Amino acid sequence: MTTTTTTIRPAFADDAPAIMQLVRDLAEYEKAPHEVLVNENDLLREGFGTDPVFTVHVAEVANEVVGMALFYNGYSTWKGRMVYLEDLVVKQEHRNNGIGKLLLESVFEYAKYTGAALVKWQVLDWNEPAIKFYKQYPVSFDGGWLNCRIMTEAMITTES
């Protein structure tokens, strides 16, 4: 999909440095740069290797990657095939130009193409600009759910 100045396309391995920088930019924005454990080699191996676990669409302006949508296929026991949008990021200086909309809608197109029943993602409750952006669409905000996670180094098995 292309507008006059922005091109949305699947990412290539050569885009890994730009994708990594967008990941770092997002972590800074979310005040959690110390949480980023992946590096460029991880992105190359896990996104562009022989068995990719995620897909990335990038936004280009004047041959520069200025945004990305990183997502992967999943499964909902209630709805079936789904797409999970892990991150949608546009460089600060390129926001409010419709790039986020183009990226998000490219994920929607991918979901429809692959037969997914839904697209899911999260947004921090304090991120008002993102919430306002998502409200352009008929999005459901699941207020009753709590996010859970555990890092593998913290996992223990319990004895029965």
pLDDT in tens, 81-113: 999 999 999 999 999 999 999 999 999 999 999
| Euclidean distance between CA atoms 33 and 44, whole angstroms | 20
**DSSP letter, residue 140:** P
Among residues 72, 75, 134, 137, the one annotated as catalytic is 134
Give, as one character, the DSSP assignment of residue 117.
S
- Is 134 known to be catalytic? yes
Q: What is the mean pLDDT of residues 21-45?
A: 97
- Contact call for residues 101 and 136 (beta carbons, < 8 A): yes
Mean pLDDT of the chain: 93
Instruction: State residue 4's pLDDT score.
Output: 55
Residue ranges of domains in the chain? 6-154
Q: Residue 2 has what pLDDT?
A: 45
What are φ and ψ of residue 2, in 5° steps? Answer: -140, 140
Query: What pLDDT sits at residue 143?
Result: 86
Counting DSSP H helices and E strands in the chain, the numbers are: 4, 5
CATH entry, 6-154, from 3.40.630.30, 3.40.1350.10, 3.40.605.10, 1.10.1840.10? 3.40.630.30
How confident is the model at residue 3, as a pLDDT?
A: 45
pLDDT tens sequence across 116-144: 999 999 999 999 999 999 999 999 999 88
Question: Higher confidence at residue 97 or residue 160?
Answer: 97
The values of phi and psi at residue 32, to 5°, are -145, 45
